Amino acid sequence: MSFDLFFPCMSPESADPLAVPKQLIVEELARELHMRRQHYPDRVAKGKMTREDASHQISMMTAIHADFAVDLLLAPGQEDKAANARRQADERLVPFKWRELVSCLRREISMRRKFYPRLLATGDRSPAELRTQLERIEAAHFYYWALGRCFWPDELEHHRQNPAAMTDADHRLFHDFYARHRAHFLPFNLAPRGAYATVAEQQGEAA
């Protein structure tokens, strides 16, 4: 899957991403992780995916879940527990580039956007259940993609495991890449669902 710079952040029926409680995002990531561990071995056995891809996809979702779960520990009295969870989450994140994590979430979102209407048509799942499952994964993607959670440019990937080795020039380059990324979006107070600034500019020029 190519990396789409204009991937639609939210489906029309989904709630604004920052309105989705972190607890519900973590629960949905845990549910998805459980589903992968339960069903991917069967997909591998049937030749629908390789063992390596199954392991890779499960490991990425595990890392994303661990990363968000730390946020639930950010309360007075849980500092030691949070610090330990942060270290463990960082260890899980290290093997993956930032764009890989974004793409992992996009892959799941794309599948849900494709197949949920079919599930809805069967009547086996309620519209509210399917909508909330989708919007919670979309919200996780919004944090990573639009807000730049765990952002790290590919150009500085060689420094990610040892940021202390970065020079002042490296830090300036990092901040330049991050500023460029954030400028890709309209200000979130104006467009809280992740609208793209360049798309708006192009539409304005076309008008």
Q: Is residue 2 part of a domain?
A: no
Instruction: Say which residue the tokens 């799942």 belong to.
Output: 125
pLDDT tens, residue by residue, 93-138: 999 999 999 999 999 999 999 999 888 888 778 899 999 999 999 9
68 contacts 25 by C-beta, under 8 angstroms = yes
Amino acid residing at 118: R
Sign of the four-CA dihedral 6, 7, 12, 18: negative
pLDDT band at residue 203, thresholds of 50, 70 and 90? low
Which residues does residue 196 pair with via DSSP β-bridges, in sequence order?
185
For 196, the 3-state DSSP assignment is strand
> Is there a single domain that holds both residue 120 and residue 46?
yes
- How much is the pLDDT for 31? 98
Q: Is residue 3 part of a domain?
A: no
Q: What's phi and psi for 196, nearest 5 deg?
A: -90, 130
pLDDT tens, residue by residue, 12-48: 999 999 999 999 999 999 999 999 999 999 999 999 9
Structure tokens at 131: 């909508």
- How much is the pLDDT for 207? 43
Domain that holds residue 205: 152-207
> Is there a single domain that holds both residue 201 and residue 99?
no
Structure tokens at 147: 């807000």
> Is there a single domain that holds both residue 54 and residue 156?
no
Domain endpoint, select from 124, 147, 170 = 147
- How much is the pLDDT for 195? 94
Is a pLDDT exceeding 60 seen at residue 1? Answer: no
CA 182 to chain centre: 16
The CA distances from residue 54 to 27, 32, 47, 104, 145, in Å, are: 21, 13, 11, 12, 23
Give the 3-state DSSP-derived string for 87-125, with helices as H, strands as E and coil as C: HHHHHHHCCCCHHHHHHHHHHHHHHHHHHHHHHHHHCCC
Q: How many domains does the chain have?
A: 2
* Predicted TM-score of the model (pTM): 0.92
- How much is the pLDDT for 125? 84
> Is there a single domain that holds both residue 139 and residue 54?
yes
> Is there a single domain that holds both residue 139 and residue 158?
no
Instruction: Say which residue the tokens 């996809």 belong to.
Output: 57
For 187, the 3-state DSSP assignment is coil
> Is there a single domain that holds both residue 29 and residue 118?
yes
pLDDT tens, residue by residue, 138-169: 999 999 999 999 999 999 999 998 899 999 99
